[in-house]
């Protein structure tokens, strides 16, 4: 968003369909969010993952992500629903949490709790004047803690009336162009085709190279794509519960296509 701002003083973001989580965060930096009737935004509360997160009981080598807002909701539950107020009671609740989640993982949660609010504030302040600080804080609270579910779908009406974002509806002509553009990217990124490594291997093959596009940046003079390259190898004797193939990424980066 800061890079885009180097090239324009007024920026509009087009949302023909879904722009959840990080997509919504990007929208916060725009002067105007143009949402079609099927446009959706979403909460920006993050989940964090690091080496100190709890182990996945189904895969000991993996770590479970921890939702920042879930941790905050647990502490709110103790205070607001259970009615715990004394220092001893709240200390017991916190100690119970620490028994399940490593203290350094909780520290990372708090850092991300502060980070997401700081990012949202900076993005909104790119175009909202200082006298609207109350509205800025209200938008941040709406998108981080008042929607209660990370997969909550924010419609155009809700974005305007409840979240209080700078949202406009496109003309019929613009709406049609937005949707056609979305369909083009849907085809280029193969959004309707789940990435199934095992399906890319033919029965007689033990290894195959693949290429997948993860993102596109298009401008008038050129088109660049973020491309993943890798190799899929069939396991000759897969362990119980392990995937039948291995996926190895050999390269990833931006590539100019046009």
pLDDT at 110: 85
pLDDT at 240: 64
Going by pLDDT thresholds of 50, 70 and 90, the confidence category of residue 87 is confident
Average pLDDT (226-252) is 84
Query: Is residue 242's pLDDT more than 70?
Result: no
Average pLDDT (175-186) is 96
Angle in degrees, CA 46, 50, 52, rounded to 5: 120
pLDDT at 107: 87
Q: Dump pLDDT digits (tens) for 37-80.
A: 999 999 998 888 878 888 887 777 778 888 887 888 888 888 88
pLDDT at 73: 83
- What is the rounded distance in angstroms from the CA atom of residue 252 to the CA atom of residue 226? 7
Query: Is residue 237's pLDDT more than 90?
Result: no
Q: 54, 64 in Cβ contact below 8 A?
A: yes
Query: Is residue 243's pLDDT more than 90?
Result: no
Mean pLDDT of the chain: 89
pLDDT at 56: 80
Q: 158, 33 in Cβ contact below 8 A?
A: no
pLDDT at 255: 94
- What is the rounded distance in angstroms from the CA atom of residue 120 to the CA atom of residue 68? 15
- What is the rounded distance in angstroms from the CA atom of residue 105 to the CA atom of residue 113? 12
Q: 254, 234 in Cβ contact below 8 A?
A: no
Going by pLDDT thresholds of 50, 70 and 90, the confidence category of residue 213 is very high
pLDDT at 238: 64
Q: Dump pLDDT digits (tens) for 4-17.
A: 999 899 999 999 99
Which of 115, 113, 125, 111 shows the shortest CA–CA distance to 1? 125
Q: Dump pLDDT digits (tens) for 100-135.
A: 888 888 888 888 889 999 999 999 999 998 889 999
Average pLDDT (187-205) is 87
Higher local confidence (pLDDT), 33 or 90: 33
Query: Is residue 241's pLDDT more than 60?
Result: no
Average pLDDT (181-210) is 89
pLDDT at 96: 87
């Amino acid at each position: 968003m800061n890079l885009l701002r180097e090239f324009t003083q007024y920026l509009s973001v087009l949302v023909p369909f879904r722009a959840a989580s990080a997509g919504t965060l990007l929208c916060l930096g725009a002067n105007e969010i143009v949402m079609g009737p099927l446009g959706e935004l979403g909460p920006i509360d993050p989940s964090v993952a690091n080496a100190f997160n709890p182990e996945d009981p189904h895969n000991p080598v993996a770590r479970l992500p921890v939702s920042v807002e879930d941790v905050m909701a647990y502490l709110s539950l103790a205070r607001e629903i259970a009615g715990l107020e004394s220092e001893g009671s709240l200390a017991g609740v916190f100690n119970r949490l620490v028994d399940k989640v490593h203290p350094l993982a909780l520290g990372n949660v708090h850092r991300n709790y502060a980070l997401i609010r700081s990012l949202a504030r900076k993005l909104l302040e790119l175009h909202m004047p200082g006298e609207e600080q109350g509205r800025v804080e209200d938008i941040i609270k709406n998108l981080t803690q008042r929607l209660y579910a990370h997969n909550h779908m924010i419609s155009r009406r809700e974005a305007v009336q409840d979240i209080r974002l700078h949202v406009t509806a496109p003309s019929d002509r613009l709406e049609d162009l937005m949707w056609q553009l979305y369909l083009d990217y849907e085809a280029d990124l193969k959004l309707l085709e789940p990435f199934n490594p095992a399906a890319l291997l033919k029965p007689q093959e033990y290894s195959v190279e693949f290429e997948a596009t993860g993102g596109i940046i298009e401008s008038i003079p050129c088109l660049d794509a973020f491309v993943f390259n890798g190799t899929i190898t069939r396991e000759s004797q897969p362990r119980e519960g392990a995937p039948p193939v291995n996926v190895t990424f050999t390269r990833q980066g931006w590539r100019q296509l046009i």
